[in-house]
Amino acid sequence: MGRRALRLAALLLAGCATTPEGRLRNALVTDVYWDAARECEHRFRSLHLKSVGVNGDLDLDVDAGQTHDIAYFAKCYWAGIEARVEKRRSAGLPMPEKFGLHPEVGGAGD
């Protein structure tokens, strides 16, 4: 699935939520999870973003022999999530009470 399709899917999920909490959580897929994952993807050229779940879980495509980078990518991703959540909270923007700061990161090699 292409990057544009992934972003569109995330936006569609945000539009389908029925409760304010659900709409907020789905909007944060883009504002927190997606942006943190894309930032780390630029740092780790052997790992390619495949999908981002509404709970932040990532599925990556991994270049052959590069699975050792997944743990480093996960640390980068979690740090990016924490920074974005802290920035939102400091700005007084709403955040769900329960928001996963360390979602799962997995991948399969080519």
46-90 confidence digits (pLDDT tens):
999 999 988 899 999 999 888 999 999 999 999 999 999 999 999
Which range scores top for mean pLDDT: 25-34, 75-84, 93-102?
75-84
Which range scores top for mean pLDDT: 14-18, 20-24, 62-66?
62-66
What SS3 class is residue 70? helix
DSSP code at position 102: S
String of DSSP letters for 12-40:
HHHHH--SHHHHHHHHHIIIIIIHHHHHH
Length of the chain: 110
Is the pLDDT higher at 81 or at 26? 81
Q: How far is CA 101 from the centre of its chain?
A: 10
